[in-house]
Chains A and B, each alone.
Chain A
Amino acid sequence: MNDRFNLYRFASPATFYPLAGRMIPWFAAAAVLFGLAGLYLGMLVAPTDFQQGEGYRIIFIHVPTSWMSMFIYLVMAFWAAIGLAFNTRLSGMMAQALAPTGALMAFLSLWTGALWGKPMWGAWWVWDARLTSELILLFLYIGYMALVAAIDDPRRADKAGGVLLLVGVVNVPIIYFSVKWWNTLHQGSSVNLTKSSMAETMLWGMLLMALSFWMYSIAVALTRARTLMLERERHTDWVKAELAETQR
């Protein structure tokens, strides 16, 4: 079998580390480019909303951060499942590397939601299904980070954190479908596969911002994962060679 096409090779930190190192600058550059294009369309070109005036422009931050907060959690739960099932070393590091960025996205989703809610609903916060389940998501991120930080042995920390992630994953569909399942103040989704309720430039601005936040999250999480790999594998030959080589 040709080793070059063997994906399992990248499950080992020694091969994943240099690969991630080469990819990070590209993800960072993509995040900046998509971000600039999204801000240009969203803030300078997109028309006024007929109901919400210019206040709707918060959507260009609010929707991408909300999507990312849910998506990052799903990716972490995926890594947790892989880690618990196959006992792979990399999985726990990937989940840990994603957590702070996921928490940031959940916080920004709530923060921009509050700033949007005040002028449109007249309240910074309401205990409504969508908002409450998103707040629980933020607490899940914080709880995961606290749990992992509290256990000294990294492998045991990964296991405990993984169980927490898998239990908490039920919250994600609750957030997503909350606007359908319950009668809530939060508006339904603006993007639909068949028909969209938004103007073209608004939609493209939002999708570009979402892509930008996606690339940002990958770049930041991979950088964090690389640091974790060095730390955890410091007694292996590849890390020693890496440390001897790099002067960065």
Chain B
Amino acid sequence: MIHWHSFSDFIAMGGYGLYVWGSFGTTALLMTIEPILVIRNRKSTLSRLKRQLRAESRTTAE
């Protein structure tokens, strides 16, 4: 079923290695970075909102 004869065949991509792996590599990189940024943004927003909420309830309690 597997189309390739060897691992180096697979890497070479019939001479198109640079173009194929350039496409897949960039896509994999960006599709890893985006979720990391989104989750980081979520965490920082959550902690900022919690801080604000605590500050607010403190001032209303006084």
Q: Could you list which residues of chain A lie within 8 angstroms of chain B, going by C-beta atoms?
A: 43-48, 53-55, 57-58, 61-62, 65, 100-101, 104, 107-108, 111-112, 115-116, 118-119, 216, 219-220, 223-224, 226-227, 230-231, 234, 239-240, 243-244, 246, 248
Contacts and interface: CB of A to CB of B under 8 A. Distances in A.
B30 A57 contact: no
23 contacts: A44-B4, A44-B10, A45-B1, A48-B3, A48-B14, A55-B13, A55-B14, A55-B19, A58-B19, A108-B26, A108-B30, A111-B26, A112-B27, A116-B23, A118-B19, A119-B16, A216-B31, A220-B35, A224-B38, A224-B41, A231-B45, A243-B46, A246-B46
Given A108-B26, A119-B19, A220 B4 contact: no
A115 B17 CA distance: 11
A223 B38 contact: yes
Contact of A230 (B2, B3, B46): B46
B49 interface: yes
B26 A44 contact: no
Contacts of B34: 100-101, 104, 220
Interface of B: 1-4, 10, 13-16, 18-20, 22-24, 26-27, 30-31, 34-35, 38-39, 41-43, 45-46, 49-50, 52-53
Contacts of A53: 14-16
Contacts of B14: 48, 53-55
Main secondary structure of the interface of B (DSSP, over half): helix
Nearest to B2: A44
A197 B22 CA distance: 26
Contacts of A111: 23, 26
